[in-house]
Amino acid sequence: MHLLALLTGIILLHAVNGSPQPSAPSPTGSSSFSKTTKYPLPNLGNVAVHDPNILRHEGAYWLFKGGVHLPMYTSESLDGPWTPLGTVLDGPSAIPKQNRSRPWAPTVVAWNATFYCFYSISKAGSRNSAVGVATATHLEAGSWSDHGALINTGQGNGSEIYPYTVSNAIDPAFITDQSTGQPYLLYGSYWHGIYLVPLAADLLSVVQEEPERQNATANLVYVPDEQVKPVEGSFMSYRDPYYYAWFSHGKCCGFQNGFPAVGKEYSIRVGRSKDVQGPFVDKDGRQLTDGGGTVVYGSNHGTVYAPGGVGILSGADGESDVLYYHYLNTSIGFSDTDAQLGWNYLDYKDGWPVAVSGDNSTGPSESSGVAFGPDYTLHVFSFIFVWGYLWLHS
C-alpha cells in the first residue's frame, strides 16, 4: 500500500504541475477592468501586435504592424500561425523626423496593380508628425520603394496648409468613393480629431484645393467640449448603402503605472453616413464631430482590456465582415509589446454593426480569448487504472 500512496502522490503532483501558468501576475487594480459580457470574447489571432493592419490577397492574409522598419507576416488563417516575412522598409524612413526607424500604424492597400503602405512617423504627445507612403508590386520584403512624406503636421512641407495646421498626421487609413472612384486618406489623432483628404490617382500626393474651396477636406471625428480629445486610429469601411467611420476612443497605452477610470480606456466606436465625406452620426443620431460614436467593442469579461487599432475585412461571397483589433489580455501584461491580435465577425442590425462570438476555423478553447484550466480526465483514468492493478495484486 505504500507503493499505492507513492503513485497517487506522483499522479496528483503531475496534475498540479500540468496546469497552465499565467505569463504575468494578475494586476492589483482589478476594479479597473470591466467584467461586462455585453461584448463577445475575441477569436485569438495568436500573434503579438499593436495597431494591426490586415490585407487579404490571393487566398492568404498579410499582416502589417508598427515596429522597426514595419514588420510584415503572412498566414492562411486569421488564427495563425503567422510567418514573419521581414520588413516593408529596408532602413529608417526617408522622412527626417523623430522615430524614423520605428514607424507607427501602417495601412496597406492594393490599387492599380500596386501595393501601397501608408505609415506614421511621430512620437507620443507631439504634433510634429508625418504620414509616409511606400510602394511595391509584390508583397515581399526588400521590394518596397519609400516615397517619404505624403502629409506633414507641425513642421515640414505643406504643414502650413489647413487642415495640417490643426491636426496630427498619424494613423492613416484608406477608402474610395463608391460612386466616383475617388481615393481618400483618413488620418488624425487628438488635437482636432480625424480628417479625410482626397488623394491623387497615383496615391502619392494629396489633391490640394484652393483655400476658399476646401469642401473635399472633411473633419470626420472631433470632441469639441473636452480639453483632452482622445480620438484616433480611424478606419473606414463600406456596406451598402453606408460608409462606416471607425475609430478608437480613450487611453491607448502606458498602463504600467496605473489605469484610468473604467470606460476611459480604448474602445472601438463607429458612426455611419451615405456620403464618404459625412457627416457621420452614431446610433443615437449624434454627429461624430460633436463627440458622438457608438461603442461596438470595449473591454469585457475582466480579460479583454483597451481594444483598439481597429480594421475591417469586408466579407466576400456572402461571408461576414470581420472586425480585427489589438487588445491587452489582463493575464499577460499591459505594455505595448503585450498587445494581442483579436477578431470577431460582424452582424448588422438595422444597419448597425454588432460584434458576435464564434468563428468557422477554430474550436471553442482556441477562440475564447482566455486561458482554460487543465483537463484532468487522463489523470483520473490513470489513477483508477493503477489503483485497480494494485488492488488485484495485493
pLDDT confidence band for 380 (50 / 70 / 90): very low
CATH superfamily of 43-356: Glycosyl hydrolase domain; family 43 (2.115.10.20)
Q: What is the distance between the alpha carbons of residues 109 and 179, in angstroms, rounded to a whole number?
A: 19
DSSP count for the chain of H helices, then E strands = 2, 21
Question: For residue 10, what pLDDT is reported?
Answer: 35
Whole-number pLDDT of residue 210: 52
Q: Is the pLDDT of residue 28 over 80?
A: no
Long-range CB pairs of 14-19 (<8 Å, 24+ gap) are: 14/379, 15/374, 15/376, 15/379, 18/374, 18/379, 19/373, 19/374
Lowest mean pLDDT, pick from 250-259, 291-300, 326-335? 250-259
Average pLDDT over residues 210-222: 70
pLDDT reported for residue 328: 97
Give per-residue pLDDT as tens, 143-163. Answer: 999 999 999 999 999 999 999
**Percent of the chain residues past pLDDT 90, beyond the cut:** 74
Q: From the CA atom positions of the chain, what is the Rg in Å?
A: 24
- For the chain, the domains span 43-356
pLDDT at 5 over 60: no
What is residue 47's predicted lDDT score, i.e. its pLDDT?
97
Query: Length of the chain in residues, anyone?
Result: 394
Which is higher by pLDDT, 285 or 385?
A: 285
pTM, rounded to two decimals: 0.83
Q: What is the pLDDT of residues 331-379, one digit of tens each?
A: 999 998 999 999 999 999 999 999 998 754 333 333 334 333 333 333 3
CA-to-CA dists, residue 169 to 117, 193, 214, 308, 309, angstroms: 15, 10, 18, 18, 16
Residue 301 has pLDDT above 50, yes or no: yes
The confidence score (pLDDT) of residue 209 equals: 60
pLDDT at residue 111 in the model: 96
Q: Grid cell 505504500 — which residue?
A: 2
Q: Rounded to whole angstroms, how far apart are CA atoms 249 and 256?
A: 19
High-pLDDT (> 70) share of the chain, %: 81
Residue 215 pLDDT > 60, yes or no? no
Q: Which residues are catalytic?
A: 51, 232
Could you report the per-residue pLDDT of 46-57, keeping only the tens digit for each? Answer: 999 999 999 999
Average pLDDT, the chain: 85
Q: Is 393 a residue whose pLDDT tops 90?
A: no
If one compares 393 and 217, the residue with the highest pLDDT of the two is 217
Q: What angle do CA 143, 83, 76 make, to 5 degrees?
A: 100
Question: What's the grid cell of residue 214?
Answer: 476646401
